[in-house]
Amino acid sequence: QTLTTGQYDLVSYAIAGACFALFAYFLHSWRSASEVGVRYRPAVLAGMCIAGVATASYVVLVIRWDTGFTLSDGVYVPGEPARATLYPRYTDWTVTVPLLTAELLAVCSLAGARARRTRFTTMAAAFLMIVTGFLGSQVVAQGRSTSGLVVWGVISSVFYLYLYLALVGAVRASRSSMSPEAFTSLRNASIVLLGTFGVYPLVYAVPVFVDVTPSWFVGMQLAYSAADVLAKVGFGVLIHKVAKLRTAEDV
Amino acid sequence: QTLTTGQYDLVSYAIAGACFALFAYFLHSWRSASEVGVRYRPAVLAGMCIAGVATASYVVLVIRWDTGFTLSDGVYVPGEPARATLYPRYTDWTVTVPLLTAELLAVCSLAGARARRTRFTTMAAAFLMIVTGFLGSQVVAQGRSTSGLVVWGVISSVFYLYLYLALVGAVRASRSSMSPEAFTSLRNASIVLLGTFGVYPLVYAVPVFVDVTPSWFVGMQLAYSAADVLAKVGFGVLIHKVAKLRTAEDV
Ligand SMILES: CC1=C(/C=C/C(C)=C/C=C/C(C)=C/C=O)C(C)(C)CCC1
Ligand SMILES: CC1=C(/C=C/C(C)=C/C=C/C(C)=C/C=O)C(C)(C)CCC1
């Protein structure tokens, strides 16, 4: 499948833009972690680790995109490295999605054994959700088998559902232990995170319903890049705000 | 030996995922070392060094895996760099396994001459265990001689046994000097470390018992990647917890 120069440049732009946004957020969280009290520091450190890993992952993606196509007769023709411009994203998510749930929980106010159990089960569910999604989207028949996509997609969705409910429950349970202002930011953060969570299964399901034309492929790349920035940077900025507010309240 | 695209992608995913997990842990231990008191700081610093070395080692592995195979007629055919996707792991372990034992001992409570002796002998045993294992798995007849594998495997196992007993002894001896909570985490950490230690000799022994088909080869790569993450990151997180709890107790 060939891309027009417009399509190719648009994706180059989106991938490199996401990479820069993540890098900026990485630098910010590196230098601002100390503004947050020790108690909520794990949230900011999780955000920093997420941004570091995601930046590295996007650097690889940019290189693959760059080397993966050759311009001939005015169109971009994909070569071998172009195979690997969707699935490396799963590698990133395998590490970052469990960390995103840890980041959210680190500013909620579950305590003791309940906090440990929720953290462990949600991180495990996030990990398994991505691994099973990866099997469907890439390993089984290179993601070209509709039944493979559906079966693994359904298994992955079970973990998704658990994760969703557990995180909503944790946020709800935290309402009484912080100021309304901090809780509003926490609620916004969880809306951003769980809202962007909806984008990924939709993109995953594209090949089930339509034939993946170049336009669809470009759309998938743009959707993933935008959702990654929102879920990591947008969410992270809101969590940082909650952590700072709660630090001030605890004094 | 050729790999299907599914097999190839699965290993790419596992290696890159391990690399990201180690990188995240590296960033985390870099930035959080100061949360731990000076007395237990060496444990966190050892964890950081381990993660840094292992991340670099996995970057090399990812590059080798990427450049080591060419896709032709829908299957991945190994080229020369593909030879070096198992044994570079020994290079990493030669440095990191002695550091892992130092990391564990740094939160135990052996004192004075006994602490120094235990640290020296366990680090030496860990080093010799890996060096002798490397001789059997790679240097003697490229690891294809069963007798070479067995002889060096047995020699390596002697060091393994010593290491195992010495570390269990050090953990046991530390029980009385810390809170039950800290000791529980220390015990869990040593279970994770010594449990994953069991994976490596099993994978080493695979060629002694079976013909290494592509599926076995893929399984070996997956097992090593998962065990490395558990032994370095999972173990490290638990040690970090012990170090923080003991810092608080010492005040
Ligand atoms: C339910 C479901 C999925 C969910 C994926 C999600 C929720 C990914 C979230 C990624 C994030 C938040 C990345 C951060 O940058 C998959 C794996 C596509 C497979 C199909 C079923
Ligand atoms: C006993 C034995 C071995 C043990 C290896 C071990 C125990 C390796 C541990 C590695 C770790 C923990 C890496 C950390 O990431 C060898 C060398 C395979 C050779 C065969 C005999």
- How high is the pLDDT of residue B201? 95
Element (H, E) at A57: helix A41-68
Element (H, E) at A75: strand A75-78
Kind of pairing, strands B3-4 and A3-4?
unpaired
In CATH, the number for domain A3-250 is 1.20.1070.10
Of B16, B24, B71, the CB nearest to A52: B24
Local confidence band at B174 (pLDDT 50, 70, 90 cut-offs): very high
d(Cα A201, Cα A152) in Å, to the nearest integer?
A: 11
Of A48, A53, A138, the CB nearest to B20: A53
| Average pLDDT, rounded, for chain A | 93
- How high is the pLDDT of residue B84? 75
Q: What are the pLDDT digits (tens) for B103-148?
A: 999 999 988 899 999 999 999 999 999 999 999 988 887 878 888 8
Q: Which residue would you say has higher pLDDT here, B144 or B218?
A: B218
Local confidence band at B190 (pLDDT 50, 70, 90 cut-offs): very high
Spatial contact of B60 and B85, defined as CB atoms under 8 Å apart:
no
Going A134 to A139 to A143 to A145, the CA torsion angle's sign is negative
Q: What are the pLDDT digits (tens) for A21-44?
A: 999 999 999 999 989 999 999 999
If one counts every other C-beta atom within 10 angstroms of the C-beta of residue A154, the result is: 11
d(Cα B218, Cα B215) in Å, to the nearest integer?
A: 5
| Residue A81 reports pLDDT greater than 80 | no
The mean per-residue pLDDT over the stretch A146-157 comes to 94
If one counts every other C-beta atom within 10 angstroms of the C-beta of residue B5, the result is: 17
Element (H, E) at A78: strand A75-78
Distances (CA, A) of B130 to B53, B136, B142, B214, B217: 16, 10, 16, 25, 20
ipTM of the complex in this document: 0.95
User: Contact B71/A57, CB-based, under 8 Å?
Assistant: no
d(Cα A150, Cα A147) in Å, to the nearest integer?
A: 5
Pick the closest to residue A230 from A25, A43, A10 (CA basis): A25
The mean per-residue pLDDT over the stretch B55-80 comes to 91
| Residue A20 reports pLDDT greater than 90 | yes
Sheet with B3-4, strands from edge to edge, namely B3-4, B75-78, B69-72
Whether A44 and chain B come into contact, CB under 8 Å, resolves to: no
Is the minimum distance from the CB of B21 to ligand 2 under 6 angstroms?
Answer: no
Q: What is the DSSP string of A138-149?
A: IIGGGGT-HHHH
Spatial contact of B227 and B159, defined as CB atoms under 8 Å apart:
no
Spatial contact of A186 and A171, defined as CB atoms under 8 Å apart:
yes
Which residue, chain included where needed, has tokens 């269990």?
B168
Residue environment code for B191-222, b if the CB has 16+ CB neighbours within 10 A, otherwise e:
ebbbebbebbeebbebbeeeeeebeebbbbbb
Strand partners, A76: A3, A71
d(Cα B121, Cα B167) in Å, to the nearest integer?
A: 11
Token pair belonging to B215: 């599926």
| Strand blocks (E) in chain B | 3-4, 69-72, 75-78
Range with lowest mean pLDDT among A63-77, B69-83, B181-195, B237-251: B69-83
Measured from the alpha carbon of residue A233, the closest ligand is 1
Measured from the alpha carbon of residue A149, the closest ligand is 1
Alpha helices in B33-145 (DSSP H): 41-68, 88-106, 112-134
Local confidence band at B83 (pLDDT 50, 70, 90 cut-offs): confident
| Residue A82 reports pLDDT greater than 80 | no
Ligand 1 neighbours (beta carbon < 6 A): A 93, 96-97, 100, 129-130, 133, 153, 156-157, 160, 196-197, 200-201, 204, 228, 231-232
For residue A79, the SS3 value is: coil
Q: From ligand 2's centre to the CA of B94, what distance in Å?
A: 9
Q: What is the residue type of A13? A: Y
